[in-house]
Amino acid sequence: MTSLARTEERIWGDRYLVVSALILASVGLLSVFATTGIHAGVAGLRSQSQGLVLAIFACIVLTQVPLETLLRFALPLAALALALFVLTLFTDLGVFKNGARRSMKLGPIFVMPAELAKPALMLLAARILTEWSGWNRWYRTLYGSVAGGILILMVATKDLGTPLVIVMTLGGMWFLSGAKLRHVFAVIAAGLTGVVGLIAWAPHRMRYVAAWLDPFCHDASAETLRGCLDASAALRASYMAIADGGLTGLPLGGGQGPMHLLEGHNDFIGAVVAEQFGLVGFGVLTLLFILIIARSLRLAHLADSPDFGLVAAGCGLVIGLQGLVHLAVVSGAVPPKGLTLPLVSVGTSSLVATGILLGMLLRLGREQAWSDR
């Protein structure tokens, strides 16, 4: 590494991660404005800007905190995340919306526990995977119960997409920690079986899977046509938005997506990106999330200790996998899931959580640059 490159890494941590995050945030601001601002004022754009400011602040703060300190407080942070889920599900602080309690209201602020639990789970998983063999039964029970409790309560909020991404991330961390491949495949098979069971157990999920298999309701009977059209409306609008965008996209605010796409500012904002910036923009977004995963794995490989490396891998995987799954959803590659697009979708909790994850990655990058003398 040249002296100039080393100096840049000491300042930024990882310039590729910084540039990727800035591009994603910029695309998010333009897409939110295209979705809400052009036709309904700038309230959505203002909210997104405020969320990004908080995310940048959180990122900068985390770059100043040693990873060793964060790992030391992994259990209290995870217990706090668990408490947020309990308050959301079992108290009046929880907000009931669309048949589920996924957020809580603290004064004027809405908090999504599932988003804020991600950094805590990455830290907790790193400690579990590196220190499990040296713990006694009490420590194993305590750490395992907190981690399992968070995942169970996350599923109890009727959110299947976020737990799936987190389980995929934890599986990746487990594999990188030295787990045997056959054990990983066995757990993946068990996890997929559990996901299929959860889908089959919930009629509303089965309805969305059926709509994904037949989004234009060609096989629906007269009795089920209305329900099929309602369940597949967002996916059909997503297909049309992507098709309207073509190769290079439409003028900002053009097309039908910004006006008619359901959850176009959130769960389906990837379709808005495809409409505004075309297949080229959609492809760039895909490459950016792959780059985030690749750079985090590089930081993990260069880390001085196994727990630092697992934290880096987990942070990058949870951001990158969520982005890739979101893009797969809006393009119809996988069944619909309620997942935000990191740094692009509206949602202060999602933005702040992503800022925290990036802050931990950049902190590790700075530590590595300073130790490379």
> Dihedral angle at the C-alpha atoms of 66, 71, 73, 77, nearest 10 degrees?
110
Q: Which of 333, 358, 318, 290 is nearest to 114 (CA)?
A: 318
Average pLDDT of span 6-10: 61
Cβ density class 141-165: b for 16+ within 10 Å, e for less: eebeebbebbbebbbebbbbbbbbb
The pLDDT score that the predictor gives to residue 260 is 56
Residue tagged 């992994």 (tokens): 74
289: which 2 tokens?
């999330």
The pLDDT score that the predictor gives to residue 264 is 57
Average pLDDT of span 26-49: 75
Q: For residue 259, is pLDDT > 60?
A: no
- 218 compared with 203, residue with greater pLDDT: 218
Q: For residue 6, is pLDDT > 80?
A: no
CA dihedral for 259, 334, 288, 348, sign (positive or negative): positive
Question: What is the residue-averaged pLDDT of the chain?
Answer: 84
Q: For residue 218, is pLDDT > 80?
A: no
Q: For residue 5, is pLDDT > 60?
A: no
Q: Report how far residue 274's alpha carbon sits from residue 158's, in angstroms, rounded to the nearest whole number.
A: 28
User: Which residues have C-beta within 8 Å of that of residue 117, sequence separation ≥ 6?
Assistant: 78, 81, 84, 85, 150, 154
Q: For residue 141, is pLDDT > 90?
A: yes
- With 0.95 as the threshold, say if the pTM is over it: no
- 217 compared with 314, residue with greater pLDDT: 314
User: Which residues have C-beta within 8 Å of that of residue 155, sequence separation ≥ 6?
Assistant: 163, 198
Q: Report how far residue 229's alpha carbon sits from residue 236's, in angstroms, rounded to the nearest whole number.
A: 9
CA dihedral for 203, 206, 210, 215, sign (positive or negative): positive
Average pLDDT of span 333-347: 85
From residue 234, give the alpha-carbon distance in Å to each of 47, 123, 262, 263, 266. 23, 35, 5, 8, 12
Residue 335: pLDDT band with limits 50, 70, 90: confident
- 13 compared with 326, residue with greater pLDDT: 326
Residue 2: pLDDT band with limits 50, 70, 90: low
- Residue 103's H or E segment, with its range, is strand 100-106
Range with the largest mean pLDDT of 159-168, 252-261, 279-288: 279-288
Sheet with 100-106, strands from edge to edge, namely: 94-97, 100-106, 109-111
> Comparing 119-128, 193-202, 342-351, 355-364, which segment has the lowest mean pLDDT?
193-202
Average pLDDT of span 39-51: 74
